[in-house]
Amino acid sequence: MPKRNLFYAQSGGVTAVINATACGVIETARKHRNRIGKIFAGHQGIVGALTEDIIDTGHESPSAIAALRHTPGGAFGSSRYKLRGLHENEAEYERLIRVFEAHDIGYFVYNGGNDSMDTAWKVSQIGEKMGYPITCVGVPKTVDNDLVGTDNCPGFGSVAKYVATSTREAAIDVLSMKQTKVFIMEVMGRHAGWIAASGGLAGIRKHEPPHAILFPEIPLDEVALIARVKECVKRYDNCVIVASEGVRWPSGQFVGRAGVGRTDAFGHTQLGGVAPVLANIIGHRTGFKYHYAVVDYLQRSARHIASKTDVDQAYAVGEKAVNLALAGEHAVMATIVRKSDKPYRWTVGTIELRKVANKEKKLPRRFVTRDGFHITAACRRYLSPLIQGEDPPPFRNGLPDYVTLKNVRVRRRLKKRFDVAE
């Protein structure tokens, strides 16, 4: 078999461990010099392929690549750009083929969430429908944990560990303070409540915080929430709430109003997400002193408190993707397969991309308590293994020592430029 080049790219929101996957891809590909020529990375995901903005990872030392394992963010840049259907924008696919041909790319490894698996699937069709020989493999990545076909998604375990740890720590603080009665922490997960659920791991016994979790899957009952807050303050002296950014009212409207571009009747932009809105409502209804936190990017970039299980799995799916590509497995995604809960045992597997693309795995109702405010024992059994183990990065001068790659670009071979409309 002739040597061909590999193209790897990162897509969608980045995570604390997507670079661990990149490390797994590159280290594994480097072991197969006889089959894989150059290992390229797209700058900013698929956009790098379309615009021929391609990084040659061959310029990076083995130690720099190894350091990706403990470095958060997307080392090659990421993008939320989504390919349209083959018949809607054939020019894009033709462009991809031109770029792939120009750089002799025979392996396409795409690392992302459900939108990105759709992109990977569409690229895989190039081979089948447009006659360009390419082996296309998806690698799962999303803090939202909402990909189907895999037991869990690399990236999620570390957010879960961060959210559970932060909830536990902030709750100890709240409990210490005589005056503060309500604390709300807003976390990610616009459509699926997996991240919010992970906050539930902070406490074990009934009285331990968090005292309420607000999921996007459960319409928010304001009366029940206020009652719960009052009851918790009475019983435990405070009420700690973990709220998903995707919580909605029974009408379907998001509780957190978007920060950009939304204005009220008077032309003032509406501020804030869920936490300030909820804090405001609870403060008004109860008179309790409150605090709130919005962790935003911190939760998904906190490599310093990553889950070792998550790091190991992120690396493993990267390794698996290359092995799948070399085995000629086309249009598939590497997966995590759970073999047992306790002791937790897992392995890597495979699923067809078309079964994953654009699908969303929400938190099942059986993972939420009947009252809608907490996680069940079944949920705990599922989540707990994913946050096990610590894998701190090296520290230097008191701070995590993260790598910055050289990201040397490959010389452009195509005369024609291609603009990506966004």
Q: Pick the stretch among 94-102, 218-226, 276-284, 356-364 that binds a second copy (CB under 8 A).
A: 276-284
- Among 53, 56, 118, 144, the active-site one is 144
Q: By C-beta, is 4 or 304 nearer to a second copy?
A: 304
Burial of 2: CB neighbours in 10 Å, binned 0-12, 13-18, 19+: exposed
Query: Which run of H or E residues covers position 123?
Result: helix 114-130
Decide if residue 63 touches a second copy (CB under 8 A): no
What are the residues whose beta carbons fall under 8 Å from the beta carbon of 416, sequence distance 6 or more? 98
Contact pattern for a second copy over residues 177 through 206, marking x by CB under 8 A: xxx---x-x---------------xx----
Task: Detail the DSSP E strand segments found in 322-397.
Answer: 332-341, 344-352, 395-396
Measured CA angle at 211 (ends 13, 165), to 5 deg: 45
Q: Pick the stretch among 30-38, 212-220, 280-288, 331-339 that binds a second copy (CB under 8 A).
A: 280-288
Decide if residue 269 touches a second copy (CB under 8 A): yes
Measured CA angle at 302 (ends 80, 186), to 5 deg: 75
Q: Contacts with a second copy: how many residues (CB under 8 A)?
A: 79
Task: Name which of residues 98 to 157 contact a second copy (CB under 8 A).
Answer: none
Q: By C-beta, is 32 or 80 nearer to a second copy?
A: 80
Q: Pick the stretch among 133-141, 170-178, 247-255, 329-337 that binds a second copy (CB under 8 A).
A: 170-178
Q: In Å, what is the CA distance from 9 to each residue of 119, 306, 325, 334, 408?
A: 11, 22, 15, 15, 15
Decide if residue 304 touches a second copy (CB under 8 A): yes
Both tokens of 224, joined, read: 């029940």
Q: By C-beta, is 314 or 326 nearer to a second copy?
A: 314
Considering only CA atoms, give the Rg of the chain.
23
Decide if residue 296 touches a second copy (CB under 8 A): yes
Out of 28, 57, 71, 119, name the contact with a second copy by CB under 8 A. 71
Closest CA to 47 of 13, 3, 92: 92
Q: Pick the stretch among 73-81, 133-141, 213-221, 316-324 that binds a second copy (CB under 8 A).
A: 73-81
Question: Among this protein's residues, is 144 annotated catalytic?
Answer: yes
Q: By C-beta, is 219 or 272 nearer to a second copy?
A: 272
Task: Name which of residues 10 to 39 contact a second copy (CB under 8 A).
Answer: 10, 13-14, 16
User: Phi then psi for 271, rounded to 5 degrees?
Assistant: -95, 155
Half-sphere exposure of 328 (CA within 13 A, CB side): 2
Residues noted as catalytic:
144
